Amino acid sequence: MPKPILLSVDDDSNVLRAIERDLRSQYGAKYRVMGSDSPESALDILKQLKVRNDTVALLLADQRMPRMDGVHFLQEAMGIYPDAKRALLTAYADTNAAISAINDVGINYFFLKPWDPPAERLYPQLDDMLDDWQASYRPAYEGIRVLGTRWSPRSYELRDFLARNHVPYQWIDVELTANDPETKRTLDSLGPEAQNLPIVLFPDGTRLLESLPAQVAQKVGLRTRAQTSFYDLAIVGGGPAGLAAAVYGATEGLHTVMIERQAPGGQAGMSSRIENYLGFPTGLSGADLARRAVYQAQRFGVEILAPQEVTGVRTEGPYRILKLGDSSEISCHALLIATGVQWRRLDAPGIDRLQGAGVYYGGGATEAFSCKGEIVYVVGGANSAGQAAMNFAKYADRVVLLVRSDSLSSTMSKYLIDQIQQTPNIQLWTHASVAEVHGESHLEEISVRCSDTNKIERVPATAIFIFIGALPQTGWLRDLVQRDERGFILTGPDLMRNAQRPEGWTPDRDPFLLETNVPGIFAVGDVRHGSVKRVASGVGEGSVAVQFIHKYLSKV
Ligand X SMILES: Cc1cc2nc3c(=O)[nH]c(=O)nc-3n(C[C@H](O)[C@H](O)[C@H](O)COP(=O)(O)OP(=O)(O)OC[C@H]3O[C@@H](n4cnc5c(N)ncnc54)[C@H](O)[C@@H]3O)c2cc1C
Contact 483, 471 (CB under 8 A): no
Taking residues 378 to 407 in sequence order and writing x for each that binds ligand X by CB under 6 A, - otherwise, the string is: -----xx--x--------------------
Of the candidates 35, 39, 70, 242, which one interacts with ligand X according to CB under 6 A?
242
Taking residues 285 to 324 in sequence order and writing x for each that binds ligand X by CB under 6 A, - otherwise, the string is: ------------------------xx--------------
- C-alpha 261/C-alpha 239 separation (Å) is 10
Which residues are 343's β-sheet partners? 470
Number of residues that bind ligand X (CB under 6 A): 40
Of the candidates 350, 512, 538, 546, which one interacts with ligand X according to CB under 6 A?
538
Which one-letter DSSP state was computed for residue 224?
Answer: -
Of the candidates 236, 365, 378, 546, which one interacts with ligand X according to CB under 6 A?
236
Containing H/E element for 526? none
- Whichever of 356 and 538 has its CB closer to ligand X, that residue is 538
- Looking at the chain, how many residues does it have? 556
The answer to whether 340 contacts ligand X (rule: CB under 6 A) is yes
The answer to whether 4 contacts ligand X (rule: CB under 6 A) is no
- Whichever of 5 and 274 has its CB closer to ligand X, that residue is 274
The answer to whether 338 contacts ligand X (rule: CB under 6 A) is yes
Question: Is there a cis peptide before residue 507, judged by omega within 30 degrees of 0?
Answer: no
Which residues are 463's β-sheet partners? 376
Containing H/E element for 410? none
- Whichever of 82 and 475 has its CB closer to ligand X, that residue is 475
Cβ at position 327, least distance to ligand X in Å: 14
Calculate ∠ Cα 532-537-543, nearest 5°: 140
Taking residues 343 to 382 in sequence order and writing x for each that binds ligand X by CB under 6 A, - otherwise, the string is: -------------------xx-------------------
Produce one character per residue of 110-148: b if its CB has 16 or more CB atoms within 10 Å, e if not: bbebebeebeeebbebbeebbeebeeeeeebeeebbbbb
- Whichever of 69 and 260 has its CB closer to ligand X, that residue is 260
- Whichever of 137 and 415 has its CB closer to ligand X, that residue is 415
The answer to whether 118 contacts ligand X (rule: CB under 6 A) is no
Which residues are 111's β-sheet partners? 89
- C-alpha 74/C-alpha 68 separation (Å) is 10
- Whichever of 134 and 409 has its CB closer to ligand X, that residue is 409
Give residues with Cβ within 8 angstroms of 319, minimum separation 6: 331, 332, 333
Taking residues 250 to 279 in sequence order and writing x for each that binds ligand X by CB under 6 A, - otherwise, the string is: ---------xxxx---xxx-xx--xxx---
| Binding residues among 418-477 for ligand X as defined by CB under 6 A | 473, 476
- Whichever of 319 and 476 has its CB closer to ligand X, that residue is 476
- Whichever of 118 and 238 has its CB closer to ligand X, that residue is 238
Question: Is there a cis peptide before residue 117, judged by omega within 30 degrees of 0?
Answer: yes
Cβ at position 276, least distance to ligand X in Å: 5
- C-alpha 318/C-alpha 446 separation (Å) is 54
- C-alpha 483/C-alpha 388 separation (Å) is 31
- Whichever of 48 and 276 has its CB closer to ligand X, that residue is 276
Phi, psi of 537 (to 5 degrees): -70, -35
Which one-letter DSSP state was computed for residue 472?
Answer: -
The answer to whether 42 contacts ligand X (rule: CB under 6 A) is no
Cβ at position 512, least distance to ligand X in Å: 18
- Whichever of 292 and 353 has its CB closer to ligand X, that residue is 292
Taking CB atoms, the residue at the shortest distance from ligand X is 340
237-245, 390-398, 433-441, 515-523 -> range binding ligand X (CB under 6 A): 237-245
Q: Tell me the C-alpha to C-alpha distance, in Å, between residue 326 and each of 184, 233, 322, 408.
A: 38, 20, 11, 44
Contact 334, 551 (CB under 8 A): no
- Whichever of 145 and 159 has its CB closer to ligand X, that residue is 159
Cβ at position 473, least distance to ligand X in Å: 6
- C-alpha 60/C-alpha 85 separation (Å) is 8
Phi, psi of 386 (to 5 degrees): -60, -45
Cβ at position 380, least distance to ligand X in Å: 10
Phi, psi of 156 (to 5 degrees): -60, -45
- C-alpha 8/C-alpha 57 separation (Å) is 11
| Binding residues among 475-534 for ligand X as defined by CB under 6 A | 476, 525-527, 533-534
Cβ at position 480, least distance to ligand X in Å: 14
- Whichever of 216 and 470 has its CB closer to ligand X, that residue is 470
Which residues are 355's β-sheet partners? 359
Contact 323, 329 (CB under 8 A): yes
Of the candidates 59, 80, 200, 241, which one interacts with ligand X according to CB under 6 A?
241
Residues that bind ligand X (CB under 6 A): 236-242, 259-262, 266-268, 270-271, 274-276, 309-310, 338-341, 362-363, 383-384, 387, 473, 476, 525-527, 533-536, 538
